[in-house]
Chain A
Amino acid sequence: GAVVSQHPSWVICKSGTSVKIECRSLDFQATTMFWYRQFPKQSLMLMATSNEGSKATYEQGVEKDKFLINHASLTLSTLTVTSAHPEDSSFYICSARDSGGAGHQPQHFGDGTRLSIL
């Protein structure tokens, strides 16, 4: 089945540093990938839509200069949390659909990245 790999799975860093999270579709191509954030005991919230070869589309209230998204190939999207602060600590999850698949394709999710800012 379709697999989405996310790396790293866990990161702890100091306040003020930038953190890059990678999302890869391992056995399919995805022109669009999605980034979500999940705080403890809450549901997933869509942050942005990553579009291959063009700018990402951000949801209302999500700072595009804070959360940089790059989708340079059909199998890789990256999310960089710039100048991270403790309030950015969260569980970040990406998802992707098979762009070349027939019919109505489900989104497949990565296993998430738990980001802790000290």
Chain B
Amino acid sequence: DAKTTQPPSMDCAEGRAANLPCNHSTISGNEYVYWYRQIHSQGPQYIIHGLKNNETNEMASLIITEDRKSSTLILPHATLRDTAVYYCIGDDNYGQNFVFGPGTRLSVLP
């Protein structure tokens, strides 16, 4: 079973920030939090990952709570092309625990 829980769906207005939450209260101390997204009929695309500190790259920001029980992926200015299913995954770098849950279906609306 996936170690993370996410809301099944969210809507976001184009141009606004999309904040996608993830609960991972049962991940272990050495497991990183990874975010991927999957656009219809394509393979998952890596977005960002982190362990304890907040992270930012050209795609998104990742905010991890101090107790590591949850995190939020932020897409600062959502576009229509950001419509996808977003997956939050806990992983210890060996892939054995790379379990995909149902994810959050984000719909960016014009």
Question: Which among B46, B51, B87, B98 is the interface contact of A104 at CB below 8 angstroms?
Answer: B51
Q: Which residue of B lies closest to A105 (CB)?
A: B93
Chain B contacts of A60 at CB under 8 A? none
Report how many residues on chain A are interfacial, defined by Cβ distance under 8 Å.
Answer: 24
The proximity string for B residues 28-64 relative to A, scoring 1 for CB distances below 8 Å and 0 otherwise, is 0000101010100111111001010000000000000
Say yes or no for B103: interface residue by CB 8 A criterion.
yes
Which residue in A6, A46, A105, A106 is a CB contact (below 8 Å) of B43?
A6
Residue A93 is within 8 A (CB to CB) of chain B in the complex: yes
Residues of B within 8 A of A (CB): 32, 34, 36, 38, 41-46, 49, 51, 87, 91, 93, 95-96, 98-103
Could you give, for residues 52-73 of chain A, a 1 whenever the CB lies within 8 Å of some chain B CB and a 0 otherwise?
0000000000000000000000
Q: When chains A and B are docked, how far (Å) is the Cα of A93 from the Cα of B43?
A: 7
Interface positions of A from 92 to 109, Cβ below 8 Å from B: 93, 95, 97, 104-109
